[in-house]
Structures are given as C-alpha cells and as structure tokens.
Amino acid sequence: MLLAGYVFEWSGLPVPALVLQTVALLAGAYTFVPGAIRRLVRGRLGVGLLMTIAAIGAVALGHVGEAAALAFLFSLAEALEDRAMDRAKEGLRALLSLIPETVRVSRLNGDVTIPAAEVRELDILVVGAGERIATDGVVVEGRSGIDTSAVTGESIPVEVGPGHAVPAGSVNGAATLRIEATADGRDNSLTQIVELVEQAHARKGERARLADRIARPLVPAVLIIAALVAVFGFIVGDPGLWIERALVVLVAASPCALAIAVPVTVISAIGSASKFGVVIKSGEAFEQFGTIRTVALDKTGTLTRNEPEIVAVVPAHGRSREEIISLAAALETTNTHPLAAAIIRAASDIPAATDVVEDAGHGLTGLVGSTRVRVGNARWLSELGELTKSADEMAGDGMTVVVVETDGQVSGLIGVRDELRPESAETISMLNAQGIRTVMLTGDNQRTAYALAARAGISDVRAEQLPADKAAAITALVTESPTAMVNDAPALATATVGIAMGVKGSAAAIESADIAFTGNDLRLIPAALAHARRGRRIMTINIALALAIIVVLFPLALFGVLGLAGVVLVHEVAEVVVILNGVRAARRRGIGFSR
C-alpha cells in the first residue's frame, strides 16, 4: 500500500495516493500504537510512544506519506526483532523434542506403552536399540553404548551397564536396556535446562543493565527536548518548521536500537550454548563469564577421572597388606569421598567399625573391635617413623598417601592414584593459548599435587587446602582478576563465575554454580569461554553502534539536514544491523561448537 501510494503520488493522482498511504499508515501503526498506549496507561514510556507521537505529528503537518513510511519501517524492525528472539529460542525448545512422545514401561503384567510425560520416578523403562531415553535414570539391566551428543556435546558414545546413570534425550545403541527412572517425565535434566535458559534473559547482565540505564531516562529526555524545540519555533516565529524538526528529533534520538542491543545477543548466545551441553543460568553469568582471566580447577573428579585405584600398599613391620586395607575400609564405609570407594573396592574383608567420627579435610577416627583406628592424610598423621621415606616416594609418584594408624602407632600406608583425564593437558594448553591463567586447588599434599599438576601443564598449585582454604584462595584470586572455579561447592559461591561439570559434579556444586556443563569433556571450558568473550564483544559493538546513531542523527535532525523519512530510514536500518549482529552470537566455535 505504501509503495502503491507513492506511485500514485508521483503520477499526479493525490487522492488515491492519500487513501493508500493512509491504509499503509493504519496497518503499520496497528502493530505498535495499541501497545504504546497500554504502556502509557500503566505509567511506562517506551520507544513506541515516541514513534506514535511522531506519526501523529507528521499527519497533523500533512505528511501522511512520511508518517506511513515511519510506521512501516518501525513495524518492520519490530517484526525482525521478534523473529530474531524467536529464532534464538527455537534451538532451545528443540531440546524438548529429544524426549520421545511415548515410552515402554515394565509392569507386573508385562510391558505397556505410556506417554513420556506420565513417567514417574522409580518406573522401569524398556529402551530398545536406537530409541531415545525419555528421562534421567540408572541402568538396571543390559549393556549398550549410548549417544549423548545432542545433550552433552560429546561425540563419542558412552558404554553403559548396570549402575550407570544415563541422561534424558540420549540415544540407546544396539542392545535393549532396562532403566530405572530417577526423575519424572516432566521434570528431568532436559526440561530443567530449558527452564533455566528461558529464565536466563530475565536476569540481566552488566551490559543489559547499562543499556536499560541509558534507554530508560532517554525516552522522557527525548520528549522534553522535542517539546523545547517546538517551543523555540514559537519564540522565533516559525512554529511550523520547528514543530516538524521537533518530530524528526523525536525519532532521531529514540533508543530503539539500544533497547534490543543486548537482549537479542544474550538470548542467541545462551540458547546456542545450551544445545552443546553448556547451561548458562543468567545473562549476568554469561557476561561475567566473558571477563574471566583465571580458571581454578579442583583436582579430584575435574582434572582426574574420579576413579581412583589403590596402586601401592606399604605395611609397617608385622602388618600385612590385607590387614591395612581392611582396617581402612572399615572406617571408610561411612565416607563418600572417591578415595574411600577405591579402598572399599580393594578390601576382601571389611570388619565392622563403631564410633566413626570425621575430621573434615583430615580423615576418620573410629573403633574396629577394641582397636582405635585413624585413617587420614599424612599432614594429620605426621609421625610416620620408618615409613616416612616410603610416603615421600609415593607422593612424588603422584599418589595420594592414606595413613592407617592403630592405637597411636602407624600401621601402614595406602597409595591411591586418580589418573588424569585424557583431555586435561589439552584443556590447560587451550586455556593458556587464550591468555587465561590456570590454578589447581587440592587437598592433596604438595608433592602429589605438583606431580599431577606438572603432567597437566599447571604451574600454579595450591595444595593441602581444606574446604575453607579453597574458598579463601578463590576470594584472593578474584581480587586479582575475574576468576572461574570448577567443581568445588564451597568455593563456587565466592568465584566470579562458578562452573559445575557434568554428572560427576556434586548436587551442591550444581546448585551453587552459575554455569553447568551437562558433559564431562573439559575442553568445553575453553570453548565456552571463547563463546562468551565473543558475545561480550558483540554486545559492546551493539551498544556503541546504537549510541553512535543517536549522537550522529540528533544534530542532523535538529538543523534540518535530514527530514523525517531520512531519519526513520537510517534509524531502522541501524536497528536491523544491531539485530543481525546480535544473532551472530549464536555461532559456535571450538570443541563442541561448529566452525
């Protein structure tokens, strides 16, 4: 209608031109004027109000065609903005399509097929070859390989058997599995990811708040400036010219591009990352993640496989290997630490223990029969006597030394080693290449910690750290530079950004974290950091561009260099550029991120 109206106007047919331009104006204005009026009634000023006033003023001055052009271009920009936001969310919602519509469940009278949403915790799911797993669970029968790439970003299938946890949305391999559900069909890891990310843009980051702080007072300021320009026209005796310029100033200084500069970038980047197993819980966390200059990593279960094994036992004179392991296992049955699991697995006989008390960060004390037993680290049980040299050699070989003491006498040493993950050294190298400092925090002794850190490529090691020490170390690191902490619940809250890695991260760590990785590949950390840095750069460019447009257009509008149509065109083209630039944040690079 707008184009046809201009054609008739250029053809010397003003009446049909006016009719068509009026229809075009009404069609465009319908997309934003009602909303602007509703917000005004609620006491909120917005960009739509500026455009509404400008359109009404243009019509009052007889410029229906320019008013129609303004309405068309603004409505087009609004539509593109909505489309950009929808596209950013589409990928996120696609995660929910990974959950099958129906699932087979084992009942007393045989297998039945029910909607996946009706699955309840403790139901036994029957998952055939090539089928998707409807909710989180633990394998109770069968062995197979599962493809978790759509959920965690890890491309290599994972072999699972009885006792292994499996995430919702992963694809079963060649054999049938029976899986006990650990979450309801409507409340599993995938649905939680979607909920977290959809809420993320509501909690705005520093740049989002900056854009809001600028845009919020700018709207009333623009209205006041436009009114002063119009009043100036009456003072100098040319109200028509200056009212028209006031309307042009109204449009030129409107912060429409600024209002969308950050949200579209944040939503695009967070939604994109979530499809590769990186769940960023808020826009603020995303922006802070892009500032990180130091990454602190917990050793056990982060840099290592979290599958420690006993590799050496040194009994004192008169003691046997089996006796030392059995005494340690008796106390460790009450402990959830990974080292405890290694000792328990190695024990052939585990006697009963009573009065077991834990000294956090040190070890355990208890009674085995009538014998008082202490099991702990070498700095707690420091008088090792004849075993001192053996303890030093074990620590130098990268083992964690567990000391077993009976009735005040050291009875033996157990050397436990948790091997590095295969990607640990590569991850540290990737972080260093980005100029990011890496620090290892561990409760292990100095020699063990340094031996393992050297293999990983980390030079800054903080060993013999109690939980409170780790939190204090992170606090100190944060004062030096923005710091991310990986997988240590007490320290996560004090870091600039807390990161929980995969299913091996503790529930407390995941709850405390700002960012959660559903996968366990450490190389996702440098990839996600690069993604966040790029997103921050895009946000900064968008804010600068939006402000530059206002700064440049304002004097051009005030002194009549550009008319209403020209200002509208430049303004809305700039908004489209800002939107398209923000959508670029969805692109992913590096491990788990397509080039």
Active-site pick, 298, 418, 444, 514: 298
Residues 6+ apart with CB under 8 A from 124: 105, 106, 140, 178, 179, 180, 181
Q: Are 558 and 245 in contact (CB under 8 A)?
A: yes
Structure tokens at 91: 């990928």
| Distance (Å) of CA 126 to CA 111, 154, 189, 434, 480 | 8, 24, 19, 45, 53
Give the CA count within 13 Å in the CB-facing half-sphere of 431.
28
How many C-beta neighbours within 10 Å does residue 369 have?
A: 11
| Distance (Å) of CA 307 to CA 14, 32, 547 | 83, 59, 54
Alpha helices in 504-563 (DSSP H): 507-512, 524-558
Q: Are 185 and 105 in contact (CB under 8 A)?
A: no
- 344 φ/ψ angles, rounded to the nearest 5 degrees: -65, -40
**DSSP three-state, residue 145:** strand
Where is 462: in which H helix or E strand? strand 460-462
SS3 labels along 176-226 = CEEEEECCCCCCCHHHHHHHHHHHHCCCCCHHHHHHHHHHHHHHHHHHHHH
How many angstroms separate the CA atoms of 71 and 51, rounded?
8
Burial (Cβ within 10 Å: 0-12, 13-18, ≥19) of residue 176: middle
Q: Are 296 and 471 in contact (CB under 8 A)?
A: no
Residues 6+ apart with CB under 8 A from 220: 45
Positive or negative torsion for Cα 483, 484, 485, 489: positive
How would you classify residue 109: left for phi > 0, otherwise alpha for psi between -120 and 50, otherwise beta? Answer: alpha
Give the full edge-to-edge strand order of the sheet including 371-377: 309-315, 409-417, 400-406, 371-377, 363-368, 354-359
| DSSP secondary structure, 379-428, as one string | TTS---GGGHHHHHHHHHTTPEEEEEEETTEEEEEEEEE-PBPTTHHHHH
Q: Give the max Cα distance, the chain.
A: 114
Instruction: Please name the amino acid found at residue 595.
Output: R
Residues 6+ apart with CB under 8 A from 275: 91, 92, 94, 95, 150, 153
Residues 6+ apart with CB under 8 A from 85: 263, 264, 267
- Per the document, the length of the chain is 595
Q: Are 513 and 492 in contact (CB under 8 A)?
A: yes
Our answer to whether residue 298 is catalytic in this structure is yes
Can you state the angle between helices 424-433 and 446-456, rounded to 10 degrees?
70
Q: Are 166 and 133 in contact (CB under 8 A)?
A: yes
| Catalytic center residues | 298
